[in-house]
């Protein structure tokens, strides 16, 4: 039976193949996997194709805004795919709910903060608010790192649903079979017991990641992590644990905003037209 299904899958793949689309996806995937800008010859060699095979595809991808040109003949992936990803309903609702709260946090605490979501075995920042003080540390939107290297990543792994965590750990194991999952499991359990992540940054010395989970009512685990990079400023010292209480309040506010019902436009119109106060509706 399995052989028959595999044969059928192979037949379907052959029947519905789209060589031009696959060529374009190959270009995007390869350029997104390297930090270097590549010219046509280097890109063709990497993909096992000729320059003439990819010339028109690269030209179209550049014209549509999926590739940027560096210098006269080198190409990198633009951020258009990332911006399209942010248009997903979940990411839109997350950023809409989070940004007002994040601004309040930055103004009252004097610290920057950012919102990260899981993307395969990595975390990616989808929103940030800068510190209002003269000294601070922040990361850019679109910033990516492996989940296991960052406070945001540990927070996401610790508080995501068990099913999603198992899938993610399997993917991490496929990328790095020698990774110490026993130690990681102990860390994640400790973070779950604490209800938050407070750990030295795995990327930058002198920075402590303070990270709290964001929960969505339609999910069984965390869908995002609100993280504040802590720097101990001598003129106004604040300890990471103290800052963690403020991050927790902000995370709770974002979670509550995601759970709050949103009135449909029709309901709003009826309420206004009938002179009924929204607060009086049951």
- CB-count exposure of residue 48 (10 Å: 0-12, 13-18, 19+): exposed
Q: Which one has a higher pLDDT value, 91 or 53?
A: 53
Helices marked H in the chain: 2-15, 19-32, 40-47, 51-63, 80-86, 89-109, 151-159, 162-175, 181-194, 240-259, 265-274
**Tokens in use for 220?**
């069984």
- Give the integer Cα–Cα distance in Å for 105 and 8: 55
Read off the pLDDT band of 2 (50, 70, 90).
very low
- Give the integer Cα–Cα distance in Å for 145 and 173: 16
Q: Which one has a higher pLDDT value, 271 or 41?
A: 41
- Give the integer Cα–Cα distance in Å for 249 and 232: 20
- Give the integer Cα–Cα distance in Å for 7 and 13: 10
pLDDT at 95: 87
Average pLDDT over residues 109-118: 93
Of 156-160, 199-203, 259-263, the least confident: 259-263
Nearest Cα to Cα of residue 66 among 50, 82, 43, 52 = 82
Query: Which value, in Å, is the radius of gyration of the alpha carbons in the chain?
Result: 23
Q: Are 198 and 148 in contact (CB under 8 A)?
A: no
pLDDT per position as a tens digit, 223-235: 999 999 998 776 6
Of 70-84, 153-167, 190-204, 225-239, the least confident: 70-84
Q: Are 254 and 100 in contact (CB under 8 A)?
A: no
Average pLDDT over residues 130-154: 85
Q: 6 in helix, strand or coil?
A: helix
pLDDT at 185: 95
Q: 152 in helix, strand or coil?
A: helix
Q: Are 136 and 107 in contact (CB under 8 A)?
A: no
Average pLDDT over residues 195-212: 92
- Give the integer Cα–Cα distance in Å for 110 and 131: 5
Read off the pLDDT band of 84 (50, 70, 90).
low
pLDDT per position as a tens digit, 27-75: 888 887 777 889 888 888 888 888 888 888 888 888 888 888 888 889 8
- Averaged pLDDT of the chain: 82
């Amino acid at each position: 039976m399995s052989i028959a299904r595999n044969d059928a899958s192979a037949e379907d793949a052959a029947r519905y193949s789209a060589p031009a689309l696959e060529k374009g996806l190959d270009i995007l995937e390869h350029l997104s996997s390297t930090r270097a800008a590549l010219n046509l010859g280097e890109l063709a060699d990497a993909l096992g194709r000729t320059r003439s095979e990819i010339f028109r595809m690269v030209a179209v991808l550049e014209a549509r805004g999926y590739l940027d040109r560096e210098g006269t003949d080198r190409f990198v992936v633009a951020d258009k795919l990332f911006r399209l990803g942010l248009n997903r309903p979940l990411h839109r609702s997350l950023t809409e709910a989070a940004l007002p709260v994040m601004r309040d946090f930055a103004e009252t605490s004097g610290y920057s903060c950012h919102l990260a979501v899981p993307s395969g075995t990595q975390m990616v920042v989808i929103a940030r608010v800068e510190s209002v003080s003269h000294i601070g540390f922040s990361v850019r939107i679109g910033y990516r790192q492996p989940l296991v290297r960052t406070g945001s990543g540990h927070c996401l792994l610790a508080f995501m649903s068990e099913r999603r965590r198992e899938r993610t750990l399997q993917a991490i194991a496929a990328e790095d079979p020698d990774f110490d999952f026993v130690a990681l499991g102990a860390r994640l359990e400790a973070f779950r017991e604490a209800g938050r992540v407070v750990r030295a940054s795995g990327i930058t010395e002198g920075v402590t990641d303070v990270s709290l989970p964001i929960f969505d009512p339609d999910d069984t685990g965390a869908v995002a992590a609100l993280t504040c990079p802590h720097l101990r400023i001598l003129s106004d010292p604040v300890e990471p644990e103290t800052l963690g209480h403020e991050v927790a309040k902000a995370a709770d506010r974002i979670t509550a905003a995601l759970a709050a019902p949103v009135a449909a436009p029709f309901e709003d119109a009826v309420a206004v037209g009938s002179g009924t106060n929204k607060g009086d509706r049951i």
